[in-house]
Structure 1
Amino acid sequence: MIVINYFLNNFVFPREAKQFPHKLVASAWDLASSLRSKIVTGFSGTNDTQLLLPVHIQECDLPELQKTDAMLLTIYYNRKMKLTNIYHLNIGALFIDGSNRDIAVKWLNLSNKNKIDYAVYFDFDSIVFCDRQLHHYRFETSPTGERLDRCVFFLDEIYTRGTDLKFPNGFQAAVTLGNGLTKNSNEVHQQIITLKKRSPIGHKKNRCNTKQSTWDGLHHWAAQSISFQRKVRAFQEIQWENQQQSITSTMMKKLINECLEPEIIELKHMQGTAKVLEIIEKIYIARCQQCNHHSSTIIHNIVLRRLHEYGGTKQRLSQLLDEEQQRELEYELEEERQLAQPLSSKPCCPRLNTEIIQLCDINSQVMNLARLSNVFHPLPHAFTGIKFFKQCQPNSWPSNFWISTEFQRVTETKLISLDPFMRPPRWIIVYRNQHIIFITAFEANWLMVYLTSKSPVTTLRLLLPRVKRFQSIFVNTPTLTVPSLIGISNRIIPYFIANEWLVQLFVFNGTRYFDIVDEQTAYCQCLSLCPQPRTSIEKAAFGNGWIAVDEFVSDSNHRRCLSINQARFTLNPLTFVKQLIENRNNFQAPLSSYVGSIICNSYKTYGTITE
């Protein structure tokens, strides 16, 4: 906390939370001032916003461009356009009940299966495509880019700007108009220009939006004019003798005092006044009266005349913010989070079963662990009560991998999610060099006493996940087993866990790095993955569709052809592995890690692994 407080007090607050008593404001009125030496004029293909230009700006369209507005309306309202392939642009962000992924999947399900095979959408700044099997892949690494005629596209408001997609000829798009959007708004033009095509839009809705946008804009246009009038009046008050006259410090202070506006506005002044409906003309007059500075008479009269002519009798609240500010505030409110504290839970009281102690008896017969179901369970039983239990594929794990009952028992509290209580696998018993049993630290503490002087056919070992490069995991270290593998009889061969079993333990304990290339190869074989870089045979198999975009090889015949002989999982395990790693490490596997590069980026990092 001391470090955090120091960082906030010395770097964050002084820079990000600093306020000044006054501010200087610039708007379109200042940029297009008539006092500028260069001529500034307005240009546009349409004239929807001509009433919102500064009073000294006029549209001087060339004769050949004066018909642009009518031509654009003709294109917009043309109902003879046949809508075949529709690409949806949700400019107005009207879909608020689901994510981009949900909407894209829903749209794909509603599309014609004979014409549409994929849906393309944005997910966290990445273009993603979804097929009919609901597999989601990165657009850049998929062959979908060559089959855009078989896709539907859903581009949300944020991601349509700057998106460059090579659409086929003859396509058309549907544009969703949000609140207050008109045919002349920047958002609509940017999205339509993205598609290089114009789309039919309901003309009644467009006209209503145009009128509403102009009426809303007049209020802000008049408010900006007040700030500009103060500046014009301030410069007129300066006694200029000639153009070469230098500005003194007294003149500059007087000019600044006339142009400054308050930066800090108290809530009682912003929201504390009575909310009374008024027409925008009276709101403008009231604001002029509240301003202590003199205004420009010429501009004031022009603004007042335009508000009188076009403001109408429609009323509004002067305290209301404009649409962009409202949407920004709503977005901030949506981002607020309140973390619910987890319910208190009662831990299980540890106990030591006699069958666990019998594992140390090397003179008795090998125990049949399958018959001792009250003490030993197959390893997939460790996922009982976990959200990804259905994805663990219980039949894909080795039959000689076990957990003790105590390993799975953590809390006695019922009806709660067990995800936070999933015990980390640290201690294993290699029983008669045939079975691997995960036990608790409590059981391991007792077994150390019984195994110290025994023969090393049954050993207690520590298994750590490799969470950084060049880290030892201890499981095959001869001096760290109980009993030690050092100094044993020549008749007994020290047992080391092979890579085939070791990589399955890596999957279970959330390992992120490998020690040698053979471990990486065995890991990919275990998960039936064929990531990049690939051989020429593997490249041909990928082109034939044997290897999926996420590198998984599902067909058993294809696995044999690709020499994937140690595959354990018959179904795609990537989602399960990602969730398991996140549960073990409390964060997702980073792309810089060996495992993260394989399961997330489909790439083996051969060059960074040394034997």
Structure 2
Amino acid sequence: MLPIVALGEAITWEQRASRLIHLACEGLIQEFDREKAEEYIDWLLLELNSEIMIRPIQASIGFSIMDNSKESNTVMQLNMGEGKSAVIVPAVAAALANTNKLVRAIVLKPLSTQMFHILVQRLGGLCDRRVYFLPFWQNIDLSKDRIEMIRTFYDECMKAGAIILVLLEHVLSFKLLAIEKTIQEQNEISEPLTACQEWLSKNTRDILDKSDEILHTKYQLIYTMGRKQTLEEGRDRWILMQELLDLIQEKAIEFSTQHPMALEVGPAKGIKYHSIRVIDASIGDRMLQDIASDIYMINKDKVPSVSSRLKLLSPSTRELALRFISVKGISIDEQNALFGVCGNLKPQLLVLRGLIADGILLFLLHNKQYRVNYGLDRKRSSLAVPYRAKDQPAVRAEFSHPEVVLVLTYLTYYYSGLQSEDLKICFDLLGKTDNPNLTYEDWIKRYPTICPSFSKLGGINLSDREQVEKKVFPLFQYNKSVIDFFLSEFIFPRQAKIFPQKLSTNTWDLAEGKDHNTTGFSGTNDNKYLLPTSIRQSDLPQQVHTNSLVLRNILLDDNNTVLKAHRDNASLGANEIIARIAELAPKIRVLLDVGTQILELDNRQIAKAWLEIDQSSEIQGAVFFGEGNQLLVMRRDGRTEPFVSSALSKQLDRVLVFLDEAHTRGVDLRLPIGTRAAVTLGPNLAKDKFVQGNSHSIVFLASPDIYAHIQKSAQKQLSEPINTSDVLLWTMLESCRQIRHGFPTWADQGLQYLTRKTGWERFRRDGRKGQLKETAVETEARPLLDMYGISDQAQRFSRELIPFDGFEAISQRLDQFGISSSRSISVQEEQEREVDQELEVEVSIERPQPANPRKHFLHPEVVSLARSGIFDKNSDAFSLAYDQYEGTSARYLLECKAWTPELYATVDFKGTVELEPSSNIDDYLRPVRWILSTRDRPNLILLSPYEANQLVPMVRKSRACSLHYYAPRVAKSMPTFEFLDFCPIPAPSEAFPYSRPSPKARIVLNTFAGQLFFQDKGYYLEFCNYLGIYYGELGCSAERTIDGWIGQKLSQYLSLQQEDATCKFSKNPLPLLAKIVNMRRKGQGFSLTHLGGVLNTRVLEENDF
């Protein structure tokens, strides 16, 4: 043995003797064995540097990880508290980083800061190993030279034996960016990036800490592609949602009174929206069925945007609509029959079906908790985003399902209220609405009484800062009507959009086969069935008993205490929970909020409150995680310091410890043996989160609803107490449920990976980028009918694949668990949807480049018309105005020939920006401002402002044409311009009198321009006759559509006024009207206008004008 090695061993033995003397005094001697120090010098140096000795079990796991003879990627299990992160990761990383491979330690973000400190502390001293943290995102500014610098850096790290600490998203982002740049044909970046990625595949050796979490199916990285699109029927979706949430609150209060242990409805002051959480899913389902029945009842009108239209239908059709929104098993024939009558209500019915029949609402109210699973991150979005833990928004994650985003965003603002800046925006927008006073009256309807000065909009002076901050803001902060207005008029029109395509990667990419194996370990192996097929669970024989050992430890008598934390059968608040813990004996020193029950306070406030309640002299501070996942210590005097530099870090017998849910795994604190901890129980708590820790005792705290839920799982009466075995049974059942519901996403991600991998390999072989794009680019925007409608399951949820490597393994595992039994993997509809609701994805948004404006052009034919008044409708300078909507998302609703052919538009009017042929021009429609009319025939020609400006001198001299200013009437107080008599050029005279457009021409013009208010009731009746709308008694067996449209045949049968008033439309034009206004208004509301009344089947009376 070399002398230096002998000296090192002697020092470790001296350190060991010192520790053994201390342990002997405590009666806690453990035997340690030695491994051969000469074989792994780095291990000896690590022991010297850290004053530890590597245990035999740690050495066995380390040797297994480093075993190069293994031909596949593996993960293994080691009991909690055995030093996986503190000892094994540094030891293995140092041994593997032998200048022949680049070692990467891949960790979870909440644990990244602590792991970095551990690696630096263990390896930065005597081991003399450098530790790097190299993040990577899509928005990094890359060039060929910079990519080469990264590649050189990796090579230098490998040769120096350095270790790189990375997050899962960094690894996936690097790989995805190479694919993206290749598809975009940015060869200068894609080629070196691909070469660097291939170098990494050949030279990296990855170690996964907490592998069960890192390889979880919820992790998926997405790069969006293309231009953002407005959500299909966006405004109808979010208006329906806010109406439905009113009804949900009403029903939740009613059902919680009848079933107090099944639904939790939080207290709310004044008009604030109550927090709602479903505990018992069966009761929650009954509540949703009751909600569906209320929508169906025509005398209740609980959801006006749907109920007001259903009342025009026959009882049998209404019954079919009820079945469609509340029953999963409905046939495609029934769907087609319903849509044949309710075509204009199809979007709302599909959304309701998704929310109720498909269980989206139940899933959200049962599984998602505000501030724990979702909330706001105002730094990057005004929509609800996923949270990784209490008050910890995911850095880049977004919910992928539109209805999930909308519902959770509404609930987030209802619970948190509006900020002062939000309310200022509300009042600014209110002044620009169609009818501000009427909207304000709708806001204050929610108050039983209100200050007289605020009973009218004019009583609010926004310039008076004191009044706004002390009176106006507190009054409207939690007003649901104001919040709905803010979201529907400001947030959703701007942010509730979707990209057409995406690129994605997932944990299958991380676990793919490479030249050097990927190895991971975790304290549990519950998710081994959801691992990618390219990595397998391979536990050491001496670790097979780990699960049984953990369960045995928990079932010890010292842990058999489950307390029902309540006050008069109501859940306790944060301070009450802490006070309850402080009363317990033996003393509680550690609080693990695994169930996320302490929501009112943040971690710092909890530590402070606990120190104030526990005044015992032996307690000198409290340990907790602060912002940025940094472990902190708060002293008695309130001072806070980093744990690593605090003297109390070596005196954990003198501190209290609080760990929130995000940090109850993977945190290594050397707590004194026998420390007693309190563990909170919460909804959806699986066993792997529950069985953390070793050599200590615990007591469980359960709120009344969770306590009742555990009793139900254990088949006990409400009067019977529960014990630890009941809690274990409850968590095991939840684990089984989560695993089974994870299979659809697991299979889909596996198929995505295999398809993408095959496409990439073919591209590298053949160089065909078109084929790579076909396999790698996925559809992101899904039509409502695909999401919620009934169609061929094989088309919608199956993926027919060529039998490439890996397919059979997926199919066999699904067969094993009864998910699929065929080569065409088809998951159950409700499972697919539930997973889709839950899926959170890491999204890197590729912002579209600004659209380039088209150059203006004055066509010679337009000049000729202005001079001569001779209009050639066959000229390529003109086309029917309504043809413009062929370039929008409303093209499938358009029936151009049915509109009176008197309204034309020039080429320059229609052309606004340069777009790809397949792009929609919804966001680029030119407003109607200038109209050219000829005096000998009733044609109206829409001009661009450029054309109007150029033609003014010619028209002034012309006796055959007139130029008119026009604007659609979008506010009730606004004058009408539809008669085209506002300052025409030239001015009318006796020699050249002016004739007003016909009623039909005005209807066609106003509809095209998006006019919202009618001149009088006479115009309203003309409008209804022209479009074929009739609300009276039919007097025959025929049935009108849901919005009052009767069609051509029924219109002729009823002989409306005159024969020429008979409806010319063969399909319902009202959906087109709604779409036109939505495009023209950019998503702003118009339900309180005359046109809004027509579209919502409200009969207008004389006093409405």
Q: TM-score, normalised by structure 2?
A: 0.30
- Contact residue 562 and residue 700 of structure 2 kept, 8 A: no
Shift of 1:132: 1.4
- Contact residue 512 and residue 595 of structure 1 kept, 8 A: yes
Secondary structure in structure 1 of the residue aligned to 2:953: helix
In the other structure, the counterpart of 2:482 is: none
Aligned with residue 350 of structure 1, among 856, 879, 883: 856
Secondary structure in structure 1 of the residue aligned to 2:1024: helix
1:571 matches 2:1039 = no
Matched residues in 1 for 2:1005 and 2:1085: separation? 17
Matched residues in 2 for 1:344 and 1:369: separation? 34
- Contact residue 529 and residue 552 of structure 1 kept, 8 A: yes
Secondary structure in structure 1 of the residue aligned to 2:614: helix
CA pair 334-360 structure 1, distance change in 2 beyond 3 A: same
CA pair 233-508 structure 1, distance change in 2 beyond 3 A: same
In the other structure, the counterpart of 2:581 is: 230
Secondary structure in structure 2 of the residue aligned to 1:360: helix
Shift of 1:590: 2.3
CA pair 562-471 structure 1, distance change in 2 beyond 3 A: farther
Shift of 1:581: 0.6
Aligned with residue 420 of structure 1, among 900, 904, 923: 923
In the other structure, the counterpart of 2:1030 is: 530
In the other structure, the counterpart of 1:539 is: 1033
Query: 1:508-527 CA distances to partner (integer Å, 9 max, x unpaired)?
Result: 01111112112211221222
Query: 1:333-382 CA distances to partner (integer Å, 9 max, x unpaired)?
Result: 759988763333322211112211111234x7x33322x1x211122321
- Contact residue 856 and residue 946 of structure 2 kept, 8 A: yes
Matched residues in 1 for 2:995 and 2:1068: separation? 32
In the other structure, the counterpart of 1:467 is: 970
Specify the code of the residue in structure 2 equivalent to 1:602: T
CA pair 466-335 structure 1, distance change in 2 beyond 3 A: farther
CA pair 449-131 structure 1, distance change in 2 beyond 3 A: same
CA pair 316-265 structure 1, distance change in 2 beyond 3 A: farther
- Contact residue 546 and residue 558 of structure 1 kept, 8 A: no
In the other structure, the counterpart of 1:257 is: 614
In the other structure, the counterpart of 2:880 is: 378
In the other structure, the counterpart of 1:76 is: none
- Contact residue 1028 and residue 1045 of structure 2 kept, 8 A: yes
Aligned with residue 482 of structure 1, among 965, 985, 1005: 985
Aligned with residue 442 of structure 1, among 941, 946, 950: 946
Q: Which has the higher helix share?
A: 2
- Contact residue 594 and residue 604 of structure 1 kept, 8 A: no
Secondary structure in structure 2 of the residue aligned to 1:483: coil
Query: 1:130-189 CA distances to partner (integer Å, 9 max, x unpaired)?
Result: 65152575999xxx9xxxxxxxx9373636999xxxxxxxxxxxxxxxxxxxxxxxxxxx
Secondary structure in structure 2 of the residue aligned to 1:430: strand
Secondary structure in structure 2 of the residue aligned to 1:402: strand
Secondary structure in structure 2 of the residue aligned to 1:480: coil
Secondary structure in structure 1 of the residue aligned to 2:904: strand
In the other structure, the counterpart of 1:158 is: 361
In the other structure, the counterpart of 2:248 is: none
Matched residues in 2 for 1:446 and 1:587: separation? 33
Matched residues in 2 for 1:605 and 1:335: separation? 47
CA pair 521-160 structure 1, distance change in 2 beyond 3 A: farther
Specify the code of the residue in structure 2 equivalent to 1:386: T
In the other structure, the counterpart of 1:606 is: 1101
Aligned with residue 307 of structure 1, among 724, 730, 751: 724
Matched residues in 1 for 2:902 and 2:344: separation? 41
CA pair 308-548 structure 1, distance change in 2 beyond 3 A: closer
Matched residues in 2 for 1:496 and 1:230: separation? 82
In the other structure, the counterpart of 2:911 is: 409
- Contact residue 900 and residue 1000 of structure 2 kept, 8 A: no
- Contact residue 553 and residue 559 of structure 1 kept, 8 A: no
In the other structure, the counterpart of 1:507 is: 1007
CA pair 335-567 structure 1, distance change in 2 beyond 3 A: farther
Matched residues in 1 for 2:1021 and 2:722: separation? 79
CA pair 608-282 structure 1, distance change in 2 beyond 3 A: same
In the other structure, the counterpart of 2:1088 is: 592
Matched residues in 2 for 1:474 and 1:522: separation? 18
Specify the code of the residue in structure 2 equivalent to 1:418: I
Query: 1:85-105 CA distances to partner (integer Å, 9 max, x unpaired)?
Result: xx99899xxxxxxxxxxxxxx
Unmatched runs of 5 consecutive residues or more in structure 1: 1-43, 47-86, 92-112, 124-128, 145-152, 163-214, 237-252, 292-302, 532-537
Specify the code of the residue in structure 2 equivalent to 1:449: P
Shift of 1:465: 1.0
In the other structure, the counterpart of 2:494 is: none
Number of residue equivalences: 386
Matched residues in 2 for 1:349 and 1:254: separation? 70
CA pair 342-119 structure 1, distance change in 2 beyond 3 A: farther
Shift of 1:549: 2.3
Unmatched runs of 5 consecutive residues or more in structure 2: 1-258, 262-285, 291-315, 327-333, 350-355, 366-550, 566-576, 588-609, 632-658, 669-686, 702-719, 741-833
CA pair 375-550 structure 1, distance change in 2 beyond 3 A: same
Shift of 1:452: 1.5
RMSD: 5.5
Matched residues in 1 for 2:691 and 2:859: separation? 86
In the other structure, the counterpart of 2:280 is: none
Aligned with residue 580 of structure 1, among 1069, 1076, 1094: 1076
Matched residues in 2 for 1:551 and 1:514: separation? 18
Matched residues in 2 for 1:555 and 1:354: separation? 41
CA pair 335-458 structure 1, distance change in 2 beyond 3 A: farther
Secondary structure in structure 2 of the residue aligned to 1:350: coil
Shift of 1:552: 0.4
Shift of 1:472: 2.1
- Contact residue 357 and residue 447 of structure 1 kept, 8 A: yes
The higher-RCO structure (CA 8 Å, 6+ apart) is 2
Q: Which moved more, 1:384-393 or 1:509-518?
A: 384-393
CA pair 473-343 structure 1, distance change in 2 beyond 3 A: farther
- Contact residue 130 and residue 136 of structure 1 kept, 8 A: no
Shift of 1:413: 3.5
CA pair 507-254 structure 1, distance change in 2 beyond 3 A: closer
Specify the code of the residue in structure 1 equivalent to 2:902: N
1:498 matches 2:998 = yes
Matched residues in 2 for 1:342 and 1:280: separation? 45
Q: Which moved more, 1:507-516 or 1:271-280?
A: 271-280
Q: TM-score, normalised by structure 1?
A: 0.51
1:551 matches 2:1044 = yes
Residue pairs, 1:286-297, within 5 angstroms: 286=696, 288=698
Shift of 1:553: 0.7
Shift of 1:529: 0.9
Matched residues in 2 for 1:278 and 1:400: separation? 71
Matched residues in 2 for 1:137 and 1:500: separation? 27
Shift of 1:229: 6.4
Query: 1:76-125 CA distances to partner (integer Å, 9 max, x unpaired)?
Result: xxxxxxxxxxx99899xxxxxxxxxxxxxxxxxxxxx9xx95563559xx
Query: 1:49-73 CA distances to partner (integer Å, 9 max, x unpaired)?
Result: xxxxxxxxxxxxxxxxxxxxxxxxx
Shift of 1:394: 1.3
What percent identity do the matched residue pairs reach? 14
In the other structure, the counterpart of 1:246 is: none
CA pair 477-88 structure 1, distance change in 2 beyond 3 A: closer
Matched residues in 2 for 1:452 and 1:585: separation? 33
Matched residues in 2 for 1:282 and 1:548: separation? 60
Specify the code of the residue in structure 1 equivalent to 2:1010: G
Q: Which moved more, 1:224-233 or 1:498-507?
A: 224-233
Matched residues in 2 for 1:573 and 1:407: separation? 24
Secondary structure in structure 2 of the residue aligned to 1:551: coil
1:388 matches 2:890 = yes
CA pair 258-402 structure 1, distance change in 2 beyond 3 A: same
